[in-house]
Homo-oligomer: A and B are copies of this chain.
């Protein structure tokens, strides 16, 4: 009706034209009307379809819920399987340490951190370490397999005493004991990333400190940071690496936005433990020192993420090739990035910080510089943990790294590549470092 046209007068000659015109017009009008019909009909159809779609799409929620349920049930299966194997192979593992005198030594906090009860001052026997043991402990050849958990605790305790760290940090010796027990309780019983690995890495750090004479070169605060970071560097390791965490979208990966989830967690657990006054070995240092210790330990623990290996090593090599003087530092290293943006944390390290990062990395992978009879069993442990992961990845349909796949890996091939491409280049880089001490130039000689 909007298009109605009134033709009032028509000329004679135009008669036929107007007739034709009105014919066309009526057709157009008809067409427009049909369009209107078409529109209504389509609209109706569309509405129906859209409604259907909306109800269809609710199915997806159903599917996703199923999937979530599957992965949850799988996790239960896995947990059960683990409990089963633990129950059958070894005794109860709920209380890992010195269980002879512990009814309530270990408590688990809300955040999952295991704490040592305050009620009893836990006292693992302070072993009388023989002079021989004390000297042996300083050597990279030290055989970690001869020592039981309580003995390892005593050996770690000894390191703090021997390096004079109790005096340096005004440390309560009972707190040190409690802290060590708490550390031990927060390592899990993984085939590889367990308390014995923690001990090995820390012992190698202690060995390198003595071998390279770092105990006279570095401020005691730095020695404390190096040793403590080594002890804490794999706390609460779940036995599955970052790749698994990220691919399986675990709680840890989501919490840390896929950024070094494990290392961030190890470090966070370390400071959750230190946040408890009963297990804070640094409770008596001043605020600034605590900040330096926190920054230093964080830097070192985060440096153990092997995904950053190339970056850290290359930057370090550049510095050493520039002939940088590692003695010029004056604590700049630990205070340097307080308040600086995240990005600077990773690139504005002092040469000295870089050295410390490479040192903890050396210790972390140092099994292969130990005597064959010490190092070889570790390969089996590592492969067990790897196979454990790859088996799970296969079940869960996640990508499997070839070096973890029991179908593809052999002990020798695993070792050769690692030693040639990772271990040797890093130890060689450290061997080029020159440290000035008074008038003397000291060359770091790592244990190879």
Write out the residue numbers on chain B whose beta carbons fall within 8 Å of the beta carbon of A347.
343, 346-347
A24 touches B9 (CB 8 A): no
Cβ of A174 < 8 Å from any Cβ of B?
A: yes
Contact for A64 among B42, B79, B277, CB less than 8 A: B277
* Separation of A27 and B57 alpha carbons in the complex (Å): 43
Write out the residue numbers on chain B whose beta carbons fall within 8 Å of the beta carbon of A49.
46, 49-50, 53
Contact for A88 among B87, B172, B312, CB less than 8 A: B87
Given that A9-B17, A46-B45 are known contacts, is A62 also in contact with B63, CB under 8 Å in the complex? yes
How many Å from the CB of A33 to the closest CB on chain B?
11
Cβ of A3 < 8 Å from any Cβ of B?
A: yes
Cβ of A13 < 8 Å from any Cβ of B?
A: yes
Write out the residue numbers on chain B whose beta carbons fall within 8 Å of the beta carbon of A80.
77, 80-81, 84
A294 touches B258 (CB 8 A): yes
Encode contact with B along A25-53: 1 for CB under 8 Å, 0 otherwise. Answer: 10111011001001100100110011011
Write out the residue numbers on chain B whose beta carbons fall within 8 Å of the beta carbon of A271.
254, 257
Cβ of A278 < 8 Å from any Cβ of B?
A: yes
B66 touches A63 (CB 8 A): yes
User: How would you classify the secondary structure of chain A's contact residues: helix, strand, loop or mixed?
Assistant: helix
A256 touches B264 (CB 8 A): yes
* Contact-size category for A: 35 or more
With A9-B13, A35-B35, A305-B341 known, 16 other A-B pairs at CB within 8 A are A28-B28, A32-B32, A46-B46, A52-B53, A61-B278, A65-B277, A65-B278, A80-B84, A83-B84, A87-B88, A254-B271, A255-B255, A257-B264, A257-B267, A259-B298, A342-B346
Interfacial residues, chain A to chain B (CB-CB below 8 A): 3, 5, 7-14, 17-18, 20-21, 24-25, 27-29, 31-32, 35, 38-39, 42, 45-46, 49-50, 52-54, 56-70, 72-74, 76-77, 79-81, 83-84, 87-88, 90, 93-94, 97-98, 111, 118, 121, 172-175, 249, 251, 254-260, 264, 267-268, 271-272, 275, 277-278, 280, 283-284, 294-295, 298, 302, 305, 307-312, 339-347
Q: Can you give 29 A-B contacts (C-beta < 8 A)?
A: A3-B27, A3-B28, A5-B20, A9-B14, A25-B28, A32-B32, A46-B46, A54-B174, A56-B56, A61-B277, A68-B277, A70-B70, A73-B73, A79-B93, A84-B84, A87-B90, A254-B272, A256-B256, A256-B264, A257-B264, A258-B295, A259-B342, A302-B342, A307-B342, A308-B341, A310-B341, A311-B341, A346-B347, A347-B347
